[in-house]
């Protein structure tokens, strides 16, 4: 079997995760936690960022350490987005240069076009777009060989009328994803994942997902592992940059207005 794989020229060609410092923002729970755990299983040393969920971050760090891995916790509030650049420098001082950055932390507040205010748009831009860019710029200042993953949303292609400031901020991050891929090449690859229906918002259960599943071409919803698999693919894909991978059961093709 190894010989067949070797003939296809694949052995040794994937970008190696083992031993890298991986900073995952919003790592305490949900998608961030799942990505951090998977990277730790693959031998990355985890810098777990949290904002308010310190107990959950400690639970994550405990689990990684019990399994022989490395995890340190770094709290920071991205409402002041300069904190994201400072965070990368703190991780570097304590653990070493960050070479995997997962820009996962985000807010998802409900606000319609009629209700939206400039301060609310600015808050979404600070946390969901400017902070990831600050973190990426700080990483690029020192990293010679790295990868960045930005978490977008399948809705960047459409119009989400119930979360307009969120929608605008994710669109800005989508544009930054391409800009940064060009700015940081060839040292750092920059790619995005646009999840669709994966986890219900906090406080809601699977009935939320079941109600929306008929609007998805594949008629179902995804799991955290689908997002983790996409992240691992993009991290290891040494010839891929500036991409957005829609992990959404095909929903991005529907030209949907989200009510
Ligand atoms: N879940 C889905 O189905 C889905 C669908 C589409 C897109 N996405 C995107 O995928 C990513 C992960 O989704 P998720 O649902 O797992 O995320 P989430 O639970 O909504 O948020 C992730 C983390 O963001 C952190 N955060 C919130 N405000 C912050 C602030 N002011 N400063 C720093 N960090 C802050 C929180 O950290 P603390 O808990 O420590 O406060 C939170 O745990 C997000 O970017 C989201 O937009 C998810």
What are the structural domains of the chain?
Answer: 16-246 (3.40.50.720)
More reliable by pLDDT, 48 or 158: 48
Q: Quick check: 256 pLDDT over 90?
A: no
What average pLDDT does the segment 183-197 reach?
98
pLDDT at res. 254 = 85
Q: Quick check: 230 pLDDT over 60?
A: yes
Q: Which helix (H) or strand (E) holds 223?
A: none
pLDDT at res. 12 = 57
**d(Cα 236, Cα 156) in Å, to the nearest integer?**
25
**d(Cα 222, Cα 225) in Å, to the nearest integer?**
8
What average pLDDT does the segment 117-137 reach?
98
pLDDT at res. 159 = 86
pLDDT at res. 201 = 86
At residue 122 the predicted structure's pLDDT band, cuts being 50, 70 and 90, is very high
**d(Cα 113, Cα 121) in Å, to the nearest integer?**
11
Percent of the chain exceeding pLDDT 70 equals: 94
Instruction: Tell the residue number behind the tokens 């932390």, with chain if given.
Output: 105
- For residue 28 the two structure tokens come to 């305490």
**d(Cα 155, Cα 162) in Å, to the nearest integer?**
11
What average pLDDT does the segment 130-135 reach?
98
The rounded Å distance from CA 21 to ligand 1 centre is 21
Residues touching ligand 1 (Cβ under 6 Å) are 26, 28-32, 50-53, 77-79, 104-108, 127, 151, 153, 195, 198-199
pLDDT at res. 13 = 83
- The lowest-confidence range among 10-24, 50-64, 240-254 is 10-24
Measuring from atom 13 of ligand 1, which residue has the nearest CA? Answer: 31
**d(Cα 234, Cα 244) in Å, to the nearest integer?**
10
The string of pLDDT tens digits covering residues 98-119 is 999 999 999 999 999 999 999 9
pLDDT averaged over every residue in the chain: 95
pLDDT at res. 1 = 57
pTM listed for this prediction: 0.96
The rounded Å distance from CA 200 to ligand 1 centre is 12
Q: 110 to each of 115, 166, 167, how far by Cα in Å?
A: 10, 8, 10
At residue 83 the predicted structure's pLDDT band, cuts being 50, 70 and 90, is very high
Overall size of the chain counted in residues = 259
Residue of 24, 25, 26, 83 to mutate, ligand 1, most atoms within 8 A of C-beta:
26
Residue of 105, 129, 199 to mutate, ligand 1, most atoms within 8 A of C-beta:
105
The rounded Å distance from CA 107 to ligand 1 centre is 6
Q: What is the 3-state secondary structure (H, E, C) of 147-205?
A: EEEEECCHHHHCEECCEHHHHHHHHHHHHHHHHHHHHHCCCEEEEEEEECCCCCCCCCC
Q: Quick check: 71 pLDDT over 60?
A: yes
The rounded Å distance from CA 99 to ligand 1 centre is 21
The string of pLDDT tens digits covering residues 4-50 is 656 666 555 899 999 999 999 999 999 999 999 999 999 999 999 99
């Amino acid at each position: 079997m190894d010989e067949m794989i070797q003939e296809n020229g694949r052995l040794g060609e994937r970008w190696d995760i083992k031993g890298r410092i991986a900073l995952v923002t919003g790592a305490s729970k949900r998608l961030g936690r799942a990505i951090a755990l998977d990277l730790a299983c693959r031998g990355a040393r985890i810098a777990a960022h949290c904002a308010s969920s310190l107990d959950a971050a400690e639970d994550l760090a405990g689990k990684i350490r019990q399994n022989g891995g490395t995890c340190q916790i770094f709290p920071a509030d991205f409402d002041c987005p300069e904190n994201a650049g400072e965070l990368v420098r703190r991780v570097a001082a304590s653990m070493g240069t960050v070479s995997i950055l997962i820009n996962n932390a985000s807010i998802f507040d409900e606000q319609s076009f009629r209700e939206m205010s400039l301060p609310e748009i600015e808050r979404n831009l600070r946390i969901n777009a400017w902070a990831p860019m600050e973190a990426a710029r700080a990483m690029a200042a020192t990293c010679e060989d790295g990868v960045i993953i930005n978490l977008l949303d399948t809705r960047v292609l459409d119009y989400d009328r119930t979360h307009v400031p969120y929608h605008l901020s994710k669109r800005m991050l989508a544009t930054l994803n391409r800009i940064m891929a060009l700015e940081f090449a060839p040292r750092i690859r920059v790619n995005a994942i646009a999840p669709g229906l994966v986890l219900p918002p906090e406080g809601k259960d699977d009935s939320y997902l079941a109600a929306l599943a008929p609007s998805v071409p594949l008629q179902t919803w995804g799991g955290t592992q689908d997002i983790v698999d996409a992240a691992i693919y993009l991290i290891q894909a040494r010839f891929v940059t500036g991409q957005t991978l829609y992990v959404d059961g095909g929903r991005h093709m529907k030209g949907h207005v989200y009510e």
